[in-house]
Amino acid sequence: MIKWLRLVILILCVNLQVQAQFNSVNYSIQAHQDDWQLFWSSRVITAMSVANSKMVFITLTAGDASSGINAYGGGGPFYLSRETGSMFASKFAADLTTGTAPLDLPVVTTVTINSHTITKYVYKNTVNYFLRLPDGEKNGSGFTNNHDQSLLRLRGVAPNPLPNPNWWYSIPAINVIGNTSAAPLSGPPLLTYTWDQLVATVKAIINLERIPGTQSWVFTADERTVAPYNFDDHTDHIAASYVAQQAVTTFPALNWVGLDGYLAYTTSTLPVNLSKTQIENASILFGLEVLGMTEERYHNDYLPDAGHLAWLPNDTYNTRRPMPFPNVYAPPF
């Protein structure tokens, strides 16, 4: 009994020491591994540049583009190549903003949060959580290889207009990729989410990483799907925004969290609004994300014909949830 208590105290002390390194925390909640680099990298870098600040990245899908846990012509699972690339990007952001010498590799662990198993990486002033849910395809129809699961179908809201009235249906649960044996839901509870469980898990992560007595911002996609916002956008982006918003507003609401929604695909039609340095940083961050794919011999999304480069020069957001109370911590951005 005494040994057990000592272990608990030791764990608590280590956690408090880690938290004590930081005076503030902000969150980036996205659908795919490259979303924050493409659509709100300038805000991430600015927030991370505040002394003793921490950035928590929560990536909902595996971005596997139908491949699940498999490789398709590359050297390893496609989703892991994207996850590795995302880690390269956040590592660069940490090295850039802390001004300290690069360390070796991020520390990776498997953690249980809200009764769900999640992969977690820690490096300097960054924490990454990857939930690895299946990519839902742009229109939310999902992919046959993943039993047509998607965040849109999990949320249970049909797109308007329907791309095809014959394909729409909702699903009661969604599985972490590699753990689906029958459509549309089957798998260990640790690796299976209902919509409410997904929202609750993201909320639990936000609370777990909180710095008490401070206020935080969440950066995510704008959920509005009409012009001039995120019309004709990826349904995973929109679903991730709803997860983020519900996580901070459902009872009990997180009144210390504000939320900004970013434009995504539509930024390719907008004028440049980033500085030369910000565009360079965005280019490096995205280049590192695709490096994870190129190292495993996958198609390089940095090529002009992929269309991604057109999103780099513009970061545009709308405040979707202002800070409810007077700022006790007002970040300089």
The DSSP output letter for 271 is P
Return all residues near 20 (Cβ < 8 A) that are at least 6 apart: none
Domain assignment present for residue 20? The answer is no
Sign, Cα dihedral of 290, 128, 39, 77: positive
Domain assignment present for residue 23? The answer is no
Domain assignment present for residue 327? The answer is no
The DSSP output letter for 137 is -
Whether 108 contacts 56, CB under 8 Å: no
pLDDT of residue 184: 67
Q: In total, how many domains does the chain have?
A: 1
Whether 175 contacts 214, CB under 8 Å: no
Domain that holds residue 157: 29-321
Whether 123 contacts 95, CB under 8 Å: no
3-state DSSP assignment of residue 177 = coil
Domain assignment present for residue 5? The answer is no
Residue 8: CA count within 13 A, CB half-sphere: 5
Domain assignment present for residue 12? The answer is no
Return all residues near 9 (Cβ < 8 A) that are at least 6 apart: none
Domain assignment present for residue 11? The answer is no
Whether 136 contacts 153, CB under 8 Å: yes
Whether 239 contacts 152, CB under 8 Å: yes
Q: Spell out the per-residue pLDDT of the chain, length 333, in tens.
A: 454 444 334 434 434 444 568 999 999 999 999 999 999 999 999 999 999 999 999 999 999 989 888 887 778 899 999 999 999 999 999 999 999 999 988 999 999 999 999 999 999 999 999 999 999 999 999 999 899 999 999 999 998 888 888 899 999 999 999 887 676 667 788 999 999 999 999 999 999 999 999 999 999 999 999 999 999 999 999 999 999 999 999 999 999 999 999 999 999 999 999 999 999 999 999 999 999 999 998 988 888 888 999 999 999 999 999 987 655 444 444
Domain assignment present for residue 81? The answer is yes
The DSSP output letter for 147 is T
Query: Residue 286: which of 116, 82, 63, 13 has the closest Cα?
Result: 82
pLDDT of residue 237: 98
What CATH number is attached to the domain comprising 288? 3.40.50
